[in-house]
A and B are shown apart, each in its own frame.
Chain A
């Protein structure tokens, strides 16, 4: 029993302290000795049974002796010994082979005995529970805050009406503010459930409305628990939750099954049972006068069975009309276990309010999820958006650059075991690797295809399959881990409902950093100016002395480099495989297309829209993430109808060509 073990430990550590408290000469002088309080019950105490111990404990506690709870706790923890001769109780200290007996009143050692000369009293688990429950009110007022907290937990675990009073009584004297709040909360929960006074209960229930904690919800759910019931007419005085309409809230078959369950109607035969019964009564190629070959319809089988039934060869069965008649004769309803309708109404109202609060929190949680998904899409897509916007080039190998970044992170971890350090190395290295790959690809392939955008799409696709297979050949097909450092491991939780893993927060922060960085580069630097010039009007930019070749190369490198960093980020929470890039490429395209080309804000808008949308659809249909993706894609197709150029569209003549 964990509970008693806990108590035993608490007691053992506090024993010395307790003994000192108990040893106050004034008290002893003013009252009876503990021993004398105990002696009348020595038989029950030495051989306790669960059935009889209750009144004894009550009587002992009623004596109000200051040391009685300490005694009971020790007794329960099997630390009390009884001397067979005079029946006196002692505590004992271990002294090698022997025991040192300690007087229960004075706390003084009274002499050593062999361990067989005294009987250790061993209450069983049931008794221990009784004692523990009886001690709760005392524990609630214990001077040690840890003990008071433990007492609260014990009450919450096995709540009943009897605990309301001691709990309420302990609140005023509670010095610890935190514990006081907890006590008040627990009291409210208990009052709601078991309060004797209806007005108190209603007030307590009302106070729970909107409370989203699991305890509060479980109390309200218990108050509104229902059971299925049926009767010929709705009984007066029953607290009915709702009457079920057959055919609407339940099928006729279900209703009939309930009647059968209560022995109010004969069981129904399934089609298979009917067939089997018929098969047992084949006579000269006929069943009940119906030729076998005609038994291939439900109607003819029914006719055959009725013929058998009429002949008395088979027991009667419920035909469809009989079922309908039987079901019609009864009212089916749900009934509250709680008889008082005022209470259940209040609880239902409170639950409704709680559901509203829950919806708010769930929305908040959904928003957080959406933000984190949007950040990922943003990181994955922004590189693509830059290259697409500036060069009108769709880079199908972009996903493979993400993969390259993730594998770079993995390889770095092979060499640098410290995860934090390796991450710090991996981020710039991934950028460098994919920047290099991007520039190489631009120089070798894309440069030659600027006038043929569709062919760029295909050529980069060729590179994509080659890179993917290459990764497979080098790293194998199984997923490789990219482990996040411990400080990114946990989750940040607001309450039972709202929470977000730290890694996703980190990705969000990373996305913000990149957003700021890109905006800075594009709006405040010479390179950015040139990039924007080439985006808006390449011909004009070239004639103003901007070298579009160099800009294209750098832009492509930049876009690819960001893909590499996105790869590290994605690898931290997803697995690193050769196909991971392919999983993000279509979403990234959607993000770019929805957002509008050639604009950082557009990509942000696109990523947010797609991220939130996907989470939103997942929330509507949580069992099926595949469906969410399907609907998301359909949405994008329709969205393009409304805004063919994306959310943030470039306007003017330049955009037309």
Chain B
């Protein structure tokens, strides 16, 4: 297990409001990690910083064996470096078929001219088939993504992440709005994915986190409050205060 992502001393301020305050987190590869915290704890902003959407005021974000800084890179460069992100709201391309969605995400050259002269290969088709099977959407491949149910869209998005073949998966509230059966499927998906890569899950739902059975990081007011197993952190008095007190 080697450190894949190292966030250290990162702070970011919006209009005087400190969303992230001297945050430091390390993610190893492979690893499954849950990030929890009350509203406004800075969970989503943390992902924004890692994926290049938000530039921090200070701090370092170091990536991979070569210890590259992610701060100077654009969103697409970070994505190509191997970080995939799933948004809170399912964002799939509703006008396009499931296959097109997956094909777009499939790991391939991303330049406009590479894509323009891209030819569909049997290998790619096989890979799409495998992913579709993994997320349980094999039957839905030729369907419009807009026609999928909410849970299926979430899976499709996770499938698109898998298709990117990233080393780090950032997943924002994957289980929101899902039925219990769907949650279970999602948990399995994430656990399987975490066998070969790093997966960071942001979640509100303690039950879901428990089922993931992994190391938990608790964020509060933009910095790490506690870290450890779920049982460990839920015994932490500060965590209890934050969640239940006040």
Q: Do chains A and B touch in the complex (CB under 8 A)?
A: yes
Interface residues of A (CB under 8 A from B): 651-653
A646 to B224, CA, bound (A): 36
Contact with A along B1-27 (1 / 0, CB 8 A): 000000000000011010000000000
A464 to B17, CA, bound (A): 43
User: Which residues of chain B come closer than 8 Å to A652, judged between CB atoms?
Assistant: 14-15, 17
A contact patch SS: loop
User: Which residues of chain B come closer than 8 Å to A653, judged between CB atoms?
Assistant: 14
Closest to A651 in B: B15
A-B contact pairs, 6 of them (CB 8 A): A651-B14, A651-B15, A652-B14, A652-B15, A652-B17, A653-B14
Give B108-149 interface residues, CB cut-off 8 Å to A. none
User: Which residues of chain A come closer than 8 Å to B17, judged between CB atoms?
Assistant: 652
A393 to B150, CA, bound (A): 30
Q: What is the distance, in angstroms, from B141's C-beta to the closest C-beta of chain A?
A: 29
Interface residues of B (CB under 8 A from A): 14-15, 17
Q: What is the distance, in angstroms, from A532's C-beta to the closest C-beta of chain B?
A: 14
Closest to B14 in A: A652
Q: What is the distance, in angstroms, from B95's C-beta to the closest C-beta of chain A?
A: 15
A652 to B14, CA, bound (A): 5
Cβ-closest 6 pairs across A and B: A652-B14, A652-B15, A651-B15, A653-B14, A651-B14, A652-B17
User: Which residues of chain B come closer than 8 Å to A651, judged between CB atoms?
Assistant: 14-15
User: Which residues of chain A come closer than 8 Å to B15, judged between CB atoms?
Assistant: 651-652
A651 to B17, CA, bound (A): 11
A652 to B17, CA, bound (A): 9
A574 to B77, CA, bound (A): 53
Q: What is the distance, in angstroms, from B214's C-beta to the closest C-beta of chain A?
A: 29
A651 to B57, CA, bound (A): 14
Q: What is the distance, in angstroms, from A654's C-beta to the closest C-beta of chain B?
A: 9
A204 to B78, CA, bound (A): 75
Q: What is the distance, in angstroms, from A311's C-beta to the closest C-beta of chain B?
A: 71
A653 to B14, CA, bound (A): 7
A652 to B19, CA, bound (A): 10
Q: What is the distance, in angstroms, from A286's C-beta to the closest C-beta of chain B?
A: 64
User: Which residues of chain A come closer than 8 Å to B14, judged between CB atoms?
Assistant: 651-653
Closest to B45 in A: A653
Closest to A653 in B: B14
Q: What is the distance, in angstroms, from B156's C-beta to the closest C-beta of chain A?
A: 23
A651 to B13, CA, bound (A): 10
A651 to B15, CA, bound (A): 6
Q: What is the distance, in angstroms, from B46's C-beta to the closest C-beta of chain A?
A: 14
Q: What is the distance, in angstroms, from A272's C-beta to the closest C-beta of chain B?
A: 57
Q: What is the distance, in angstroms, from B45's C-beta to the closest C-beta of chain A?
A: 8
Q: What is the distance, in angstroms, from A253's C-beta to the closest C-beta of chain B?
A: 56
Q: What is the distance, in angstroms, from B208's C-beta to the closest C-beta of chain A?
A: 25
Q: What is the distance, in angstroms, from A352's C-beta to the closest C-beta of chain B?
A: 51
A653 to B15, CA, bound (A): 9
Closest to B44 in A: A653
Q: What is the distance, in angstroms, from B47's C-beta to the closest C-beta of chain A?
A: 13
A652 to B15, CA, bound (A): 6
